Amino acid sequence: MNITVFANSTLYTPMPDSLTTWNHDSTLHFLREYCPKLDGAWLNGLTILNIKQMLPQYLRERHRSNWVIINVGAVECYSHKTANFLQWCSHYLNFYGCDPLFSTYVLPKMLKASDKLCSNEEDFHQLLSSSDFASILDSILRLLEGFSVIVIGMNEPKTENVVWKNQAGDYEYVMAFICKQYNNVVHIDSWNLYNSYVVDTTHMTPEGHSSMFSRICNILESGGHNG
């Protein structure tokens, strides 16, 4: 079995965590032991924009019997103050350049945020709206027809920020809806299954990671049944 994983730190950073961003009690660590041929991209701050850019290269080198696991949303979901938003955009451009997706979905917001900053107006900016996220996710899943896919849903954030709760809920709704349109895609309902393990906006305890890994294994070994 070959597995390709695209994930942000949700999948490989148990909390409470040490000073490092890697821990041997993470879902990703268990998956690497389970499948030595596991590959893909797992990065702090990985977004669905990155996956869409990376995917064509990975697909050229993979057989359609492979599994693909996707875990994104926690970075692009939450709105942040203007300065923080612009800082994130600057880092993205520095690492990846101004790709077509960034130009379409993010650059107009970046220009608006710059105007706000120049006017000394405080504002909040979301990297991708839930509808934008859904559109990109749908385009990715169309590319993956013929593969077996697991999409790990949003974790319910442990926060008093009502706006963030609503944004995460919107993301989870569209993620579950899009996944249901594809027979080859299994959506893991992290929102309800793992909410007791979440310690911040997305990261889980080691127990949560162990439970997540067990569920993924059940899906892999049952051929795609989410039991």
**Secondary structure of the chain in the HEC alphabet?**
CCEEEEECHHHCCCCCCCCCCCCCCCHHHHHHHHCCCCEEEECCCCCHHHHHHHHHHHHHCCCCCCEEEEECCCCCCCCEEHHHHHHHHHHHHHHHCCCHHHHHHHHHHHHHHHHHHHCCCCCEECCCCHHHHHHHHHHHHHHCECEEEEEECCCCCCCCCHHHHHHHHHHHHHHHHHHCCCCCEEEECHHHHCHHHECCCCCECHHHHHHHHHHHHHHHHCCCCCC
- pLDDT band, very low/low/confident/very high, at 56 (cuts 50, 70, 90): confident
Q: What is the pLDDT at residue 58?
A: 85
Closest by Cα among 12, 20, 17 to 45: 12
Backbone angles phi, psi at 20, to 5 degrees: -90, 165
Mean pLDDT in residue range 79-99: 93
Q: Would the pLDDT of 89 be above 70?
A: yes
Mean pLDDT in residue range 23-49: 90
Taking only the tens place, the pLDDT of each residue in 139-177 is 999 999 989 999 999 999 999 999 999 999 999 999 999
- pLDDT band, very low/low/confident/very high, at 20 (cuts 50, 70, 90): very low
Question: Structure pTM?
Answer: 0.91
Domain boundaries, the chain: 3-79+129-221, 82-125
Interhelix angle 130-143/162-179, rounded to 10 degrees, is 30
- What homologous superfamily does CATH list for 3-79+129-221? SGNH hydrolase (3.40.50.1110)
Mean pLDDT in residue range 174-186: 97
Average pLDDT, the chain: 91
Q: Would the pLDDT of 64 be above 80?
A: no
Q: Would the pLDDT of 67 be above 80?
A: yes
CB 213 within 8 A of CB 30: yes
Mean pLDDT in residue range 131-143: 97
